[in-house]
Structure 1
């Protein structure tokens, strides 16, 4: 059992939905990013997705691409990203942290070294968007052997023939992408998401968490009502890009978390 598994077991027992927040490590700078992450649990976040900046983020829209570019320009590295996780764990907080990004920085680090350091830093799971199930031996299976969850994305184009392959070796939760295209491209619609979530849940006992296109507490609530929880990334990163103070960013996150928890 990982912290992710424990969190979802607790939420099920409490009959509550999950709120997952994504932020880019190192955006707008290392210290501010760290302070935001440290404040996320008290803002109601159940799972933290910590973005690993990369030079070619093909699945990300302009807002998150620019966040990654700012982070890299400010000197953010994989090591500094793990340091943010270490800082949260040093407080004693047990909120799960999922490292989300692309395979290249992990490959460059070396898989064995990366997994050892990630585990030591307090990372609980990975979302690596450019590694399909056919490449599970590269990272997915070694990550699970190291005690990390490997979370997979399902999309509106994941049909019934493809879905079993996507779910194979997926642990922790399934991240359902509510729209086709890049992050931040459109608004999520609960009426369209509900049948897709139901279809996925027929094929797995894992929680199904929905992301992409959620910007308001009302949408977070509507999505959480038809899924096991909601993810917000682009909207939060957008507030950071506007130069909002840490407390204002966290206040905004709290409204989203409250919305999802009402679901």
Structure 2
């Protein structure tokens, strides 16, 4: 059982939904990003998604793209991203960490070496947006064998013919993208999300976490109420981009987490 599995078991026992937060590693610099990550568990975050900066983030909107650019300009690398995870593990051995990003940095490091390093650092799962199920032998299956969950995205355009393929070899949870398009777009609607979550649940026992377009505690609560939890990314990254202090960012995250946990 991975930390992700254990976290969902705990939340189910407590009758609570999950709150997942995304931050970009190294944005706007290593120290600030590290301090935010180290503060997330105490702010109520159940699972941390840690973005790995990449030069061509094709699935991300401008907010996340700019965060990645700031991180790269500040000297962020895959190795330094793993170092943030190591620093978290020095004080927290239970909160799951999912690395979210693109295949190129992993490929450049070498899949076998990356998986050894990620496992050693304390990573629990991977969400690699540009590796479709047809490429499972590249990373997904080796990651599972190494004890890491491999999380997939499902979207409003993932029809019933495609869905079984997306769910194939997926573990940990399914990340349902509530809005068609890039990150940071529009606002999520619980009314529209609910039947889609039910459709996916009819084909998997994995938890369904919903992200994109959640910016307020109320929205986090509404979305978590119709799923197994909510993800917030761009709205947190926007606070970091405008120069909010670490304590202010974590206070905002705590409000979002409280909203999701009320669901």
Q: Same fold (TM over 0.5)?
A: yes
Partner residue of 2:238? 238
TM-score normalized with structure 2 length: 1.00
Q: Where does residue 145 of structure 2 map in the other structure?
A: 145
Deviations 1:54-111 (CA, angstroms, capped at 9, x unpaired): 0000000000000000000000000000000000001134100000000000000000
Residue matched to 2:176: 176
5+ long unaligned stretches in structure 2: none
Task: Report how many aligned residue pairs link the two structures.
Answer: 263
Equivalent in the alignment of 2:100: 100
Q: Choose 234-243 or 88-97, whichever is displaced more.
A: 88-97
TM-score when scaled to structure 1?
1.00
1:216-231 equivalence runs, <5 A: 216-231=216-231
RMSD of aligned C-alpha atoms? 0.4
Residue 70 (structure 2) aligns with: 70
**Aligned counterparts, 1:244-259, within 5 A:** 244-259=244-259
Task: Map 1:72-151; keep pairs closer than 5 Å.
Answer: 72-151=72-151
Partner of 1:193: 193
Give the structure 1 partner of residue 213 of structure 2: 213
Could you tell me which runs of 5 or more consecutive residues in structure 1 were left unpaired when the two chains were aligned. Answer: none
Partners in 2 of 1:84 and 1:259 — Cα distance? 27
- For residue 48 of structure 1, give the secondary structure of its aligned residue in structure 2: strand
The alignment status of 1:167 with 2:170, answered yes or no, reads no
Determine the C-alpha separation between the residues in 2 that align with 1:200 and 1:103: 26
Pairwise CA distance, 1:38 = 0.2
> Which residue number corresponds to residue 3 of structure 2?
3
